[in-house]
Structure 1
Amino acid sequence: MRYFILATLLYCAACAPTELDPNQTSSADTSEVYRPLYHFSPEAHWMNDPNGMFYKDGTYHLYFQYYPEGNQWGPMHWGHASTKDLVHWTEHPIAIYPDTALGYIFSGSAVIDTFNVSGLAVDSTPPIIAMYTFHKRPGDVQTQGISYSLDGGMTYEFYEGNPVLPNPELKDFRDPKMMWDGTQWICALTVGQEIAFYGSENLLDWKPLSQFLGEHGNHGGVWECPELFSLTTEEGVRKDILLVSIGSGAPNGGSGTQYFVGHWDGTTFTAEHEDERYMDWGRDNYAGVNWWNAPTDRGKKLFMGWMSNWEYAQVVPTYKWRSSMTLPRELSLVELDGQFHIKQQFRLDGGNGFQANLEPKMGLRGANTFGINFSAEPQWSLRLTSAEGDTLDIWTSVDSIYIDRSKCGLVDFEPSFKNIMSGPRKTTAAEYEMYIDIMSLELLADDGLTAMTATFFPKKPFNKLEFEGLKEGTLTSLRE
């Protein structure tokens, strides 16, 4: 277990910044220098999509796509980690291994079968039902399988009736996400660049219901990791949401996650808008889904994504381990100019650190681990600088938000990594949240209506902050 503490303030001469040596190339170098403190990252090896997240008995469980024999993508397993406060993480042994006959274990979901509709319970223990994609090579045949846990999600057994959904002669047929719609169990999964919906009474036998074509969505890359769920506004208006990740062709290049607002009638999902909408306009938030059964206010959900991008995920300079997850974010629904949008708010239950007033110019000595909450003029700019000359720039125009990491340390491992990223503003609301954690920036702008996430690899931690257009704010130092 790596232990993270929200701790003391930012500027003290005794706190020397961590030295980064970008010239080292072995697994013992920048692997630990760039390891985040309060985001989950695996102790070693490759990780991508979050899978099967659920909450039970005070513990949040996270499974993830994992290759335990290398630092690039390989035969997929389900890794496992858990937390009680979304800050302190414990990594557990692998939960689900590939099946020799049916293949690798690709992305999927997990639910708690409280009423034992599957019939897989022993005694009075509700089983945890995990549904995922088997990927068999050679041939790249994808089918859907079930595993179940009788010990709270620590270990799983293969269901003897696998596969529960055979392949209908499709190349891309994957990433099942289960949910309860009030009358039946629903499974959403991708079929090429469409979403197929299936229904079930027992989580084991599934019948086709409909397909969503998403005519007005982004079809620039393969569709992946869908999820159907509902959100409710503070005024009581309920809408159904469909998440769809795209492997390439996102607005700022590479992978990203779009969402549709609409209505689920028990058989069919219908979107109610024609514009493209994204969970995050930065380049480093992909394949995100919600926790099953997470404690939230009524009408909200708890979301987390993979903090990387398929264009460069396999070559980032961390070597021993690759990739981390985003911070958990609570999702809510708001109405703006007659349209409904997702609003996001960071969720860290592990406590609050000591705070200082945010000033237009400040010295920083906190190993790149801090959060700021601030209000600003409609157009503002923020620059973070290190003693080595690394700069990270964030700024706004009237209608857009920008992030430039092109001069922030190691950037040449992939050509597009240096590209400036931008996202549209839905409003010029003045409230912002931002977290920096060693090698990542997560910004919730304009009162949480626009999110932007970016990773970066500076040569030294930031030691200076310069802010133009600041009204007021607080800075919280986050130290190990």
Structure 2
Amino acid sequence: MFYKDGTYHLYFQYYPEGNQWGPMHWGHASTKDLVHWTEHPIAIYPDTVLGYIFSGSAVIDTFNVSGLAVDSTPPVIAMYTFHKRPGDIQTQGISYSLDGGMTYDFYEDNPVLPNPELKDFRDPKMMWDGTQWISALTVGQEIAFYGSENLLDWTLLSQFSGEHGNHGGVWECPELFSLTTEEGVRKDILLVSIGSGAPNGGSGTQYFVGHWDGTTFTAEHEDERYMDWGRDNYAGVNWWNAPTDRGKKLFMGWMSNWEYAQVVPTYKWRSSMTLPRELSLVELDGQFHIKQQFRLDGGNGFQTNLEPKMGLRGANTFGINFSAEPQWSLRLTSAAGDTLDIWTSVDSIYIDRSKCGLVDFEPSFKNIMSGPRKTTGAGYEMYIDVMSLELLADEGLTVMTATFFPKEPFNKLEFEGLKEGTLTSLRE
């Protein structure tokens, strides 16, 4: 993902011949307001020799350190994982764009990183650390950091792992970046997704707060920290070059879970992305944590006061901002009897989708989700978008995302413990 000239570009794993996993391409979509999206032709196709195109990243080579520019147009450099079958051999490749990311040319000296005899060697995420280009890759259950001066030739700097974090599944989709508190304290952050073993089952994304010294990342805590405690936010990363306030980043994740991603009851499409979220850093009881806030630059429709009991009409595409008692509960119901329940205790937040429409396609889909509260702050943001719930609770410190498949749209909302709030349609 990258931002250029007023447009946010998103590339995603895509198989054009079906809605289950297949030979991976890079699909492409873009937006100017983070709400209305335009899908474009496939950006990068599999290579007949090196293999499918797995996850990666894209940056703008402003100063043409790669030497791939033509005239004065800075190239967009995409780095990704080739996955070759048979043998499941993974290497890293480069493609570059001279038209702002719409089409890509294959770099003639691929792969730029051959496989060092590892089974899982994947998902390069590039960043500029102030002195050099860095690419973070997963190698099994570790993160390898490579450095480069020209985005083409890469040298191994160090590896991070070992005793740190959740090792319940293969590590995937890393990212190294920095955040700064309002008080000016800067910390380096390492995102690491896991394919299985997340707290509520299946896949999830953990993060580490620490320090990058130009060669090595050192975590400063031992506890596990997660970007999202729901079951349906995985492999998220930040936009390159997105306009944000100083010290913040703009994040988006894949809204699904590998325990059931290929069997969810959708047909012409399968899976979607979360809403964009702005990340900031806050200090709480001497520890630093990521805070999230929705970032939508357009698309708000009608607005009304949120009531303890109210009817809903039309498409279920709305957001609610509210304050509530420390312990509260919210139920959404449909005329078909679908129910979606969200509630809190003193120390946790819960989501129950077990009675919300189609749930029997995978046994664990009906399990109640829970997330620990770091504080009982009064501020909440939540979006419902037809078949998804995204909740930023307690001022964005506890986050939960869940998908569901109701038989009919919700037509009633019941809220116990509400203080005040507003409901805003996403549809204009």
Q: What TM-score range do you get, normalising by the shorter chain? A: over 0.9
Question: d(CA) in 2 for partners of 1:369 and 1:143?
Answer: 41
1:423-469 superposed Cα distances (whole Å, 9 cap, x missing partner): 00000001000000000000000000011000001011111111111
**Cα offsets for 1:223-263 (capped at 9, x unmatched):** 00000000000000000000000000000011000000000
State the Cα distance separating 1:297 from its structure 2 match.
0.3
Cα displacement (A) at 1:389: 0.8
Answer whether contact 1:279 1:451 (CA < 8 A) is retained. Answer: yes
TM-score, normalised via structure 1 length: 0.89
Q: Is the 8 A contact 1:103 1:137 kept in 2?
A: yes
Identity %: 96
Alignment of 1:15-164 (within 5 A): 53-164=1-112
Cα shift at 1:268: 0.2
Q: Structure 1 residues 320 and 302 mapped into 2: Cα distance closer, same or farther (>3 Å)?
A: same
Offset of 1:479 from its aligned partner?
3.2
> Helix, strand or coil for the counterpart of 2:273?
coil
1:21-63 Cα distance to aligned partner (Å, 9 max, x none)? xxxxxxxxxxxxxxxxxxxxxxxxxxxxxxxx00000000000
Q: Residues 261 and 271 of structure 1 are in contact (CA less than 8 Å); yes or no, is this contact kept in structure 2?
A: yes
Q: Which has the higher contact order (CA 8 A, sep 6+)?
A: 1
Once the 2 structures are TM-superposed, how far is the Cα of residue 351 of structure 1 from its aligned partner?
4.4
| Structure 2 Cα separation of the partners of residues 430 and 98 of structure 1 | 48
| Contact 2:278/2:294 (8 A) holds in 1 | yes
CA distance in 1, matches of 2:299, 2:340: 27
Name the CA distance, whole Å, in 2 between partners of 1:215 and 1:432: 34
Deviation at 1:320, TM superposition (A): 1.1
**Offset at residue 141 of structure 1 (A):** 0.4
1:277 pairs with 2:228: no
Q: Which moved more, 1:350-359 or 1:277-286?
A: 350-359
1:353 CA drift (Å): 2.4
Is the CA contact (8 Å cut-off) linking 1:242 and 1:261 kept in structure 2?
yes
Deviation string 1:353-393 (CA, Å, 9 cap, x unpaired) is: 22111111111113211110000010000000111111000
Residue 321 of structure 1 aligns to a residue in which SS?
coil
Q: How does 1:260-299 map to 2 (within 5 A)?
A: 260-299=208-247
Whether contact under 8 Å (1:107, 1:132) holds in the other structure is yes
SS of equivalent to 1:416:
helix
| 1:149 Cα deviation after fit | 0.3
Moved more, 96-105 or 364-373: 364-373
CA apart distance, 1:214:
4.7
1:478 Cα offset (Å): 2.8
Gaps of 5+ in 1: 1-52
Q: Which runs of 5+ in 2 are unaligned?
A: none
Separation in 2 of the partners of 1:454 and 1:408?
12
Question: 2:323 maps to which residue?
Answer: 375
- The 1:214/1:357 distance shift into structure 2, 3 A limit, reads farther
Structure 1 ranges of 4+ moved more than 4 A: none
Residue 401 in structure 1 maps to residue 331 in structure 2: no
Contact 1:189 1:225 in 2 (8 A): yes
CA distance in 2, matches of 1:430, 1:331: 19
**C-alpha distance in 1, partners of 2:367/2:249?**
32
1:336 pairs with one of 279, 284, 302: 284
